[in-house]
Chain A
């Protein structure tokens, strides 16, 4: 068991690298399979020493549901943005808003910020304050294309995206 850990420090990442290699080559010939295994072994070995350990996933089921929900939101909300883009500029109500964060670790904040950027109408700009301590409260600066109700949007981001992320990590 110990030697297994030594040879494959991050098994999921190795599997992922292997699959990406096969997809890149778009083939399952012996040579590609062999070289894929070599890469899946070598790359984690090389980067193992300086990788930052991230919290593991606590609830993969929620993660899958979260992913599907985000995909669906991208499709639905894109329609709204298309309408805004085609309409006259002066009907837009652009705004910067602050979304207070309950999440504390960097990985889940990254996920939240990326989700906010991918779902139309909002782009996350910055996590502030820039050099906050670990326990200090932080907030996400978000640029909104057309802001109707600030409190409602903040609540929506917190309930729809932050709450499941808290469950996952």
Chain B
């Protein structure tokens, strides 16, 4: 294996690991607000790494010009914060319960 292939493998594994951890956060964390952190963050980095792996693979290992993946990254970075914002806005509107030791609840009017 050339070092480029090692790089692709490393990025792909690291990316999937972060996506997995994002999903673990979604299952494991105590309340809606904390659970939001998983999919918005770890997933961003995980998908970023996967996109990078794909770019390196197609452009350098296979040697064809292929930059479509940049669009995935672009749209991801635009949509992820907006999705998170819509979700948390809905949650605040419905006054979803927070875990018991959340501080600053008065700030959120909960």
Interface readout for A89-108 with B: 1 if CB under 8 Å, 0 if not? 11011111110000000000
Q: Within 8 Å of chain B (Cβ to Cβ): is A125?
A: yes
Which residue of the partner chain A has the closest CB to B93? A126
Other-chain residue from B33, B40, B71 in contact with A20 (beta carbon distance below 8 A): B71
Task: Indicate which residue in A78, A89, A147 contacts B45 across the interface (CB closer than 8 Å).
Answer: A78
Per-residue CB proximity of A39-61 to B under 8 Å, as 1/0? Answer: 00000000000000000000000
Interface size class on chain B is 35 or more
**Nearest B-chain residue to A81, judged by Cβ:** B41
Chain B 53-81, CB within 8 Å of chain A: the 1/0 string? 00000000000001110110000010011
Cβ–Cβ contact B107 & A85, under 8 A: no
Query: Separation in Å of the A142 CB from the closest CB of chain B?
Result: 9
Q: Is A75 located at the chain interface by the 8 A CB criterion?
A: yes
Instruction: Give residues of chain A (102-142) contacting chain B, Cβ–Cβ below 8 Å.
Output: 113-115, 117-121, 123-126, 141
- Pairwise interchain contact A95-B103, C-beta atoms closer than 8 A: yes
List B contacts of A17 (CB < 8 A): none
Chain B min CB distance to A106 (Å): 13
Residues of chain A within 8 A of B99, CB atoms compared? 94
Within 8 A of B (CB), among A8-45: 20, 23-24, 26
Q: Return the chain A residue nearest B21 by Cβ.
A: A82
Q: Which of B34, B66, B82 contacts A92 (CB 8 A)?
A: B34
Give chain A nearest CB distance to B67 CB in angstroms.
Answer: 6
With both beta carbons as reference points, the residue of chain A lying nearest to B34 in the complex is identified as A94
- Give Cα A115–Cα B110 distance, bound, in whole angstroms: 25
Partner of A98, one of B18, B33, B36, B107: B107
Interface check B25, CB cutoff 8 A: yes
| Alpha-carbon distance A75/B49, docked complex (angstroms) | 10
A24 to B72, CA, bound (A): 10
Task: Give the A-binding residues of B (Cβ under 8 A).
Answer: 18, 21, 24-25, 28-31, 33-34, 36-38, 40-42, 44-45, 48, 66-68, 70-71, 77, 80-82, 84-85, 88-89, 92, 98-99, 101-105, 107-108, 110
Known: A94-B30, A96-B104, A143-B33. 7 other contacts (CB 8 A): A78-B45, A92-B34, A94-B33, A96-B110, A115-B81, A121-B37, A126-B92
- 6 pairs of residues in contact across A and B, judged by CB atoms under 8 Å: A78-B42, A81-B37, A85-B37, A118-B44, A121-B37, A125-B85
